[in-house]
Amino acid sequence: MTKDLKFEPTMVRENKTARELYEAVKANPARARFGFGEKLAIVNIDFQQAYTRPDLFPKSAYVTHPDQIAFTNQISRLARGAGMPVVWTRVAYKEDGGDAGVWGTRTDTPDSLQNIKYDSPRHQFDPRVEIDEHVDLVFTKRMPSAFFESQLQSYLVWHKVDTVVITGGSTSGCVRATGVESLSRGYRTIVPEECVADKHESYHYANLTDLQLKYADVVEVAEVIAWLEARQLGA
């Protein structure tokens, strides 16, 4: 009977690093692209000091590409110049951390997520990021996805956006969560590789692989720059 069927595991096992697996997927031209649509939004996730300043917060901050912030500023400027929205998020919680919910129960140290308090140095944006507060949408989120209980969806609808470009960190956390939800909401989703970061190489590249295979186009930032520059030229 069918209920008695039993199969040996079919999961592939290879002696390759997460980075090697990602590079193999990246080199595979057979995977179809979502591509750019007509109008994009740049969604910059959690460029706050808790995650970008290892000199101040070595236990929670991380750097993957040394020019991550410079590239993010560049594509954000280009998007503004083309009349396309730019969004910045960060995380923080009330004094008792209760609004972190179950996500805030795994650890309780000075570096823990739920202990990022409003207007604290950990909540502050990295001073290197270029935010135009008169134009950009800026908000504090509480959960991994930038869409969760935020104004992001209605903002993208208002601006008639069909493509979401995601930058920030971490690749395995808030970037991935936002990418999955972006695709789930019907947006073409793009992740510029140089603009995302994580604490560990394995987490970073494993999640870039998963995003590339399922949820997003993981591309070199030069491709996003070229698309935006063409739009500014009216191409």
Domain ranges of the chain: 38-232
Of 174, 197, 218, 224, the catalytic one is 174
Pairing of strands 217-219, 188-192: parallel
Quick: pLDDT tens for 195-208: 999 999 999 999 99
Residue 217 CA to residue 207 CA, distance in Å, equals 12
pLDDT tens, position by position, 117-154: 999 999 999 999 999 999 999 999 999 999 999 999 99
More confident of the two residues 231 and 183: 183
Phi/psi of residue 139, nearest 5 degrees: -150, 160
Output the pLDDT for position 210. 96
CB 44 within 8 A of CB 165: no
The CATH number that domain 38-232 falls under is 3.40.50.850
Distance (Å) of CA 165 to CA 65, 110, 136, 181: 17, 32, 15, 13
Task: Please provide the average confidence, as pLDDT, over all residues in the chain.
Answer: 95
Catalytic (active site) residue 174:
yes
Task: Provide the percentage of residues in the chain whose pLDDT is more than 90.
Answer: 88
